[in-house]
Amino acid sequence: MNQNLHTNTAKAVNTSAPVMLVTGGAKRIGAAIVKTAHQQGYRVIIHCHQSEQEANALAAQLNNSRKDSATVLVADLSVVNEPSNLSNFASNIIDSFGQLDVLVHNASRFYPSPLGHIDHSQWDELFLTNAKAPLLLSQGLLPHLKQTQGCIISLLDIHAHGRPFNNYTVYSMAKAAHRMMVQSLALEMAPDVRVNGVSPGVNILPEADSDQALDVHQQKSIVDSIPMQRIGKPDEIAHSVLYLAQASYVTGEIITVDGGRSLTLAGGI
């Protein structure tokens, strides 16, 4: 097995419950999607890369609630760069529960790339997680999603559509490419597989100990710019994802979940 890829739980028993894979599913919005799907009866595959401890804890919690209903898949998404590694990754996904009904592209790198300081490593990393991996993983799993008449749901960004985020040019470009992927694949994969997206606004703040942490003044400025006058919640994104997973006549659509912020947004903060 490739050194960048391994599973952490034993193969679960086969049941009739649908199966959802969430990339970057160990924490934050990804974990909220996993929990909401599990509550609605899904078996869940929690993909992670560097958050293995959190992923295992979440899987243990869910399996304690419903036996053999959650598993962890650890992989660097750079596996998509090599056809054999991508094939192994897809095989491990299907081996988890024997099928795949919903693929959720949630994993994402997010950081600024101000003009004058943009380099190849930023381009490669931001485009890998936000555009390249979603496309190649969707392509690799298409035969399995066809078998279940399944669907793909992508987590996008309100800055990916005509509202670029200042100093985040590479990230915004990558998310814009991902948005076009959703609409393009919705055409190419129909009628067998539906493809939709969810565009969050500020639905969760950066972690306090990260290089993206916001001070109290910055947080207040953001809240003041949101018509609903509050930061969104991960669960609100998760509910939209689960709606799209079950909306059998919806494809090529992108739901904005931002408390109205995109109505007043003009770039910048």
Burial of 208 (0-12, 13-18, 19+ CB in 10 A): exposed
Q: How many CA atoms lie within 13 A of 205 on its CB side?
A: 15
Query: Per 3-state DSSP, what percentage of the chain is helix, strand, and coil (rounded to 5)?
Result: 45, 15, 40
Q: Which of 42, 168, 171, 243 is catalytic?
A: 171
Collapsing DSSP states into helix, strand and coil, what is residue 216?
Answer: helix
Cα separation of 58 and 261, whole Å? 31
- Catalytic residue at 171? yes
- Can you give the C-alpha Rg of the chain in angstroms? 18
Tell the residue number behind the tokens 């679960």, with chain if given: 12
C-alpha closest to that of 71 among 87, 103, 49, 48:
48
Residues serving a catalytic function are: 171
